[in-house]
């Protein structure tokens, strides 16, 4: 059984990680240990590079906190060019996989508040009345009328980031 450390305690992210690992390695093939670690970037990262750095930093910090794991996984959400997205970084002792998620364009009324210094999650909670929306369906669920969820979009990116770990051509 794979010991997978999730560098977050966010349920939407943990669900995405568990589902992806089980799809790739088989049902019941892993145990997820969720830990909260620092990203080293602002609560609301801007741009692809700052967001990716946050995910990489979380993986590094998770490795220090739980050095005996088989995999360390971080999902860092950010804002880039008026849209929300995330970077997924997965490491084992031997290699790293990274993937960027799909992006959701955000309305100007939301972007204005985020650009003024508020994080997207709290802005969306104010807009929708849904407490801790970032731990649930997120802006993605709201603006796609439930057709997609935050966890579902993260799940796709985790699957993509896992590609180097089960395809020999990457080695």
Binding site for substrate: which residues?
A: 8-13, 68-69
Kind and range of the H or E run holding 145: none
Q: What is the CB-side half-sphere exposure of residue 16 using CA atoms within 13 A?
A: 34
Contact 153, 101 (CB under 8 A): yes
Binding site for Mg(2+): residue ranges? Answer: 38, 68
Alpha carbon distance 131, 121 (integer Å): 9
Known binding positions: 8-13, 38, 68-69
Alpha helix segments (H runs only) across 26-149: 48-65, 108-115, 120-128, 138-143
């Amino acid at each position: 059984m794979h010991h997978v450390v999730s560098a977050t305690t966010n349920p939407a992210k943990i669900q995405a990680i568990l589902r992806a690992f089980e799809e790739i390695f088989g049902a019941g093939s892993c145990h997820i240990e969720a830990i909260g670690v620092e990203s080293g970037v602002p609560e609301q990262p801007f741009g692809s590079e700052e967001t990716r750095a946050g995910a990489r930093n979380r993986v590094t910090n998770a490795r220090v906190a739980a050095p005996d794991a088989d995999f360390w996984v971080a999902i860092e959400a950010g804002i880039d060019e008026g849209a929300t997205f995330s970077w997924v970084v997965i490491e084992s002792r031997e290699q790293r996989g990274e993937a960027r998620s799909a992006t959701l364009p955000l309305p100007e009324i939301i972007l204005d508040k985020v650009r003024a210094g508020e994080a997207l999650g709290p802005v969306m909670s104010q807009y929708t009345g849904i407490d801790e929306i970032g731990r649930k369906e997120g802006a993605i669920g709201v603006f796609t009328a439930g057709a997609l969820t935050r966890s579902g979009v993260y799940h796709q990116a985790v699957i993509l980031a896992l590609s180097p770990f089960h395809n020999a051509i990457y080695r």
